[in-house]
């Protein structure tokens, strides 16, 4: 910002000198000196940028303060999607006659698109056929392999 004020100052000073000095040989030389000074004032910030490895963030005073807030917002969306998926699994299991299921989804960074495994907790013991039915239902609803699904039945 200070270099802009310097350029404006040089321009104003050159206009003032042009008004005060009469036309003649001396006026040409002084205009030449001000032109060189003006070019110097224009090139100084460019040279300093090149010396400072052209850091645009320092030039624009750019800050990434809102990034943390966006991360929290994305985290909240992912948590909502996980809860929605859990509720959906419970409802589909109930439609298929499997009641009182508690679903736990383990995923990378609470992201429903990166599910590691799913645990289905039931308050009663299940048969092998019922476990396979549960796994099939979950594999249709969530992108997880059969090995990533655990069915726990407690008699």
Question: Which of the listed residues 10, 33, 60 is the one where a domain comes to its end?
Answer: 60
Helix, strand and coil content of the chain, in percent to the nearest 5, comes to: 65, 10, 20
What is the model's pLDDT at position 90? 93
Q: How large is the average pLDDT for residues 131-145?
A: 90
Residue position matching structure tokens 């796994």: 135
- Which has more pLDDT, 50 or 105? 105
DSSP string, 70-136: HHHHHHHHHHHHHHHHHHHHHHHHHHTT--S-EEEEEEGGG-GGGEEEEEEEESS---HHHHHHHHH
Q: Determine, yes or no, domain membership for 69.
A: no
pLDDT in tens, 11-20: 888 788 777 8
Residue position matching structure tokens 């040279």: 47
Based on the domain organization, do 46 and 96 belong to the same domain? Answer: no
Q: Determine, yes or no, domain membership for 66.
A: no
At 95, list the tokens: 């439609």
Based on the domain organization, do 36 and 83 belong to the same domain? Answer: no
What is the model's pLDDT at position 80? 87
Q: Determine, yes or no, domain membership for 68.
A: no
Question: Which of the listed residues 11, 28, 60 is the one where a domain comes to its end?
Answer: 60
* Number of domains composing the chain: 2
Q: Determine, yes or no, domain membership for 71.
A: no
Range of the domain at 23: 2-60
pLDDT in tens, 56-112: 555 555 555 555 557 777 788 888 888 898 999 999 999 999 999 999 988 876 666
Based on the domain organization, do 51 and 97 belong to the same domain? Answer: no
Based on the domain organization, do 19 and 44 belong to the same domain? Answer: yes
Q: How confident is the model at residue 120 (pLDDT cuts 50, 70, 90)?
A: very high
**Going by C-beta distance under 8 Å and a sequence separation of 6 or more, which residues neighbour residue 135?**
146, 149, 151
What's the CATH number where 86 sits? Answer: 3.30.300.30
**Going by C-beta distance under 8 Å and a sequence separation of 6 or more, which residues neighbour residue 2?**
none
What is the model's pLDDT at position 68? 56
Q: How large is the average pLDDT for residues 109-135?
A: 84
Residue position matching structure tokens 């998926």: 85
- Which has more pLDDT, 52 or 20? 20
Based on the domain organization, do 100 and 134 belong to the same domain? Answer: yes
What is the model's pLDDT at position 13? 81
């Amino acid at each position: 910002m200070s270099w802009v004020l310097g350029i404006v100052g040089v321009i104003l000073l050159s206009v003032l000198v042009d008004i005060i000095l009469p036309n003649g040989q001396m006026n040409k030389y002084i205009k030449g000196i001000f032109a060189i000074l003006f070019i110097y004032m224009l090139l100084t910030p460019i040279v300093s940028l090149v010396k400072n490895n052209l850091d645009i963030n320092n030039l624009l005073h750019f800050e990434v303060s809102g990034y943390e807030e966006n991360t929290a917002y994305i985290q909240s969306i992912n948590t909502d999607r996980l809860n929605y998926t859990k509720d959906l699994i419970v409802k589909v299991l109930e439609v298929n006659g499997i009641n009182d299921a508690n679903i736990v989804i383990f995923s990378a960074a609470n992201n429903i698109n990166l599910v590691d495994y799913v645990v289905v907790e039931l308050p009663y013991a299940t048969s092998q056929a019922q476990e396979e039915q549960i796994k099939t239902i979950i594999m249709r609803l969530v992108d997880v392999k059969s090995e990533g699904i655990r069915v726990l039945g407690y008699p």
